Structure 1
Amino acid sequence: MLNKENTGLIVVDIQGKLTRLVHESNALVSNCEKLIKGVQALDLPILWLEQNPEKIGPTVDELSSLLSSPTGHQEPIIKYTFDGCENAQFVEAVKAANVDTWIVCGIEAHICVYQTAISLKRMGFEVQIVSDCVSSRELYNKNLAIKKLVNNGVELTGLEMCLFELVKDCRIPVFKEILVLIK
């Protein structure tokens, strides 16, 4: 089970025109918005990756506005390798976040999300892929990535499941904020 005291979020490469080409792109962006807002309400660390933004474009406005908002206070970590863990700045940020579990969302599931999640797992972190917050251009590739991730010890979760695991108790003040996001 996820625990808000030791969990953070990694947002992988939800950028430019590619975002609009992935399977069920509107649902992906909407779900990632809810996930980011929920994680921000819970005051968890968030790391944000962009793959070669000069060529692919920046993170889509819906998400970059949340991530760079006064509650977000961050800039993306730029990378050129598909695996975010090949980037020293990212690895440093992962370690500095002082959590042992990462929930991961982003695109493309079978490339950057897959490689980054596998490397995080190999570094000793618990990793959970938010299955309704990842996608690829082809559904087949998303499904293949999920299957390989699970076979390598990465867990699956969903948007609602992870947020409610992190909230734990309907009596805490942030519960109502999370509930509004889900409805």
Structure 2
Amino acid sequence: MTTLPDRPNTALLVIDVQNGVVAGALHRDSVIANINTLVDKARAEDVPVIWVQHSDEGLERGSERWQYVPELVRLDAEPLVHKHYGDSFEDTVLEEALAERGVGRLVVTGAQTDACIRSTLHGAFVRGYDVTLVGDAHTTEDLTEYGAPTPQQVITHANLYWKWQSAPGRRGGTVDTADVTFISDDAG
């Protein structure tokens, strides 16, 4: 249903699953395992896998904290988008990578739920993409000392909130890893 013309394809987006981002994240290992399952499925179905990698003062480019976790391996042919802002589209080549591949629907995974995941969901949606959040393939760290809800509450709320997103000509949705399909006309 995307509002982007001539964009029938779906891509899997893997956002910021970097050592320094997920070191203290809730359900780190199971989330990474779910992302690996989705990467394998996407590759088997010839669906583009797009990797996003954040850098800033706390994640210096080239540092160990900046590196993707060793459990996830990007193939050389798969695009790597470098970013400095929460929204993976802001000041990056993500839009160009998706346009080249005719992508109008994104399946989103990664970290952190309450920052880069949420920003990218909204960034994609307002740019005309259909956007599916994989409910058991995103995570966040504990920021309760700053007044945030618990990580589980953040994840649960994001899943509930995104499940019902819609706008003229596009839709959101939340599904678990086991229910993900890469078919454009399916919400899963």
TM-score range, shorter chain: 0.7 to 0.9
| Residue 131 (structure 2) aligns with | 127
Matches within 5 A, 1:1-183: 6-52=9-55, 53-54=59-60, 56-63=65-72, 65=73, 67-68=74-75, 73-137=77-141, 138-153=151-166, 154-163=172-181, 166=183
Tell me the distance in 1 between the aligned counterparts of 2:123 and 2:163.
14
Greater CA drift, 11-20 or 51-60: 51-60
What is the aligned-residue RMSD (CA, Å)?
2.0
Give the drift of 1:151.
4.8
- The 1:143–1:60 alpha-carbon spacing in structure 2 relative to 1, beyond 3 Å, is same
C-alpha deviation, 1:90, in angstroms? 1.3
Which residue is equivalent to 1:172?
Answer: none
Deviation at 1:17, TM superposition (A): 3.2
The TM-score normalised by the length of structure 2 is 0.76
- CA distance in 2 between counterparts of 1:125 and 1:18 reads 26
Task: Report the 3-state secondary structure (helix = DSSP H, G, I; strand = E; otherwise coil) of the residue aligned with 1:83.
Answer: coil
CA deviation string 1:75-113 (max 9, x = no partner): 521100010111231121122220221101000111101
Contact map agreement 1:114 1:149 (CA 8 A) in 2: no
* Higher helix residue share: 1
- The percentage of counterpart residues that share the same residue type is 20
| Segment of structure 1 superposing worse, 52-61 or 29-38 | 52-61
Question: Which letter does structure 2 place at the counterpart of 1:54?
Answer: E
Instruction: Tell whether the 8 Å contact from 2:79 to 2:97 is kept in structure 1 after alignment.
Output: no
CA distance in 2, matches of 1:109, 1:48: 16
Gaps of 5+ in 2: 2-7, 142-150, 167-171, 184-188
Pairwise CA distance, 1:27: 0.4
Q: Please give the secondary structure, in 2, of the residue aligned with 1:100.
A: strand
Distance apart, 1:141 and its partner CA: 1.8
The two structures have a TM-score, normalised by structure 1, of: 0.78
